[in-house]
Amino acid sequence: MRAIRVASAALLTATALTLTAPPAAAAVAGEENITSFGFRITPSTIAAGGQVTLSVDGCEHNTKVTSGIFDDVTIPKGQSSATAMVFWDAKPGAMYEVTFTCGQESGTTDLTIVGGHSSGNPTHHPTPHHSRGVKAGVGGSSGGFDAQQLAVGGALIAGVLGTAYYWTRRRTGQDES
């Protein structure tokens, strides 16, 4: 009879821990993109064929900017920006990852493509290029968690474990008397 109670408490504990695992995994997936240098792309939403400005602050090296949506660009040391032309065959509604690399450190941001084409020749035929693909699967996990949410989650886990231990010990004590 005691084995059934212990197994029930273990199952309750395992279930509680399993149900709290997805938020913990989401916290890791949603970590902030923090670097020692600043970077941005302007505008962050553009039509295919448009021109974007790539900016960097605080980088003491040449900055290489790469993406599957435009040719690689190098911002020379001492300069703060460069421009890039978005490929004409960019898919409207797609989000592309743009990587800024300063020395050994990298940071990423997103560039979203809207419908239509920017000014220019709408019959332009795109030149072949290497595509790194579209960034997908971020969903709602990019928001991250703050310390208060992590503390509440930890308190809930501790409460479940404490309750399971209490009920297991209480029932054991009743059987032995």
In this structure, are 134 and 51 located in the same domain? yes
Interatomic CA distance for residues 131 and 145, integer angstroms: 32
pLDDT at 39: 93
Q: Are residues 115 and 164 in the same domain?
A: no
Judgement on whether residues 12 and 57 belong to the same structural domain of the protein: no
- Do 128 and 42 have their domain in common? yes
pLDDT tens digits for range 40-87: 999 989 999 999 999 999 999 999 999 999 999 999 998 999 999 999
19 vs 107, more confident: 107
User: What angle do the packed helices 147-176 and 2-29 form, to 10 degrees?
Assistant: 180
Q: Which of the two residues, 128 and 74, has the higher pLDDT score?
A: 74
CATH number at 99 reads 2.60.40.10
For residue 5, how many other CB atoms are within 10 A of its CB?
15
Amino acid at 174: Q
> Are 128 and 56 in a shared domain?
yes
Q: What is the rounded distance in angstroms from the CA atom of residue 52 to the CA atom of residue 70?
A: 10
Name the residue range of residue 14's domain. Answer: 2-29+146-176
Q: What is the DSSP string of the chain?
A: -HHHHHHHHHHHHHHHHHHHHHHHHHHHHT-----SSEEEEESSEEEET-EEEEEEES-SS-EEEEESSS--EEE-TT--EEEEEPPTTPPTT-EEEEEEEETTEEEEEEEEEEEEE-SS-TTPPPPP----------GGGGG---HHHHHHHHHHHHHHHHHHHHHHHHHHHHHH-
Residues 162 and 122 occupy one common structural domain: no
> How far, in Å, CA of 169 to CA of 6, rounded?
9
Q: Which two tokens stand for residue 7?
A: 């197994």
Residues 98 and 133 in one domain: yes
Residue 28's pLDDT band, with cuts at 50, 70 and 90, is very low
pLDDT given at position 167: 81
Question: In this structure, are strands 45-48 and 105-117 parallel, antiparallel, or unpaired?
Answer: parallel
- Which tokens in the block code for residue 65? 């900017």
**Is there a single domain that holds both residue 94 and residue 59?**
yes
What's the chain's length in residues? 177
pLDDT given for residue 132 in this prediction:
53
Q: How many structural domains comprise the chain?
A: 2
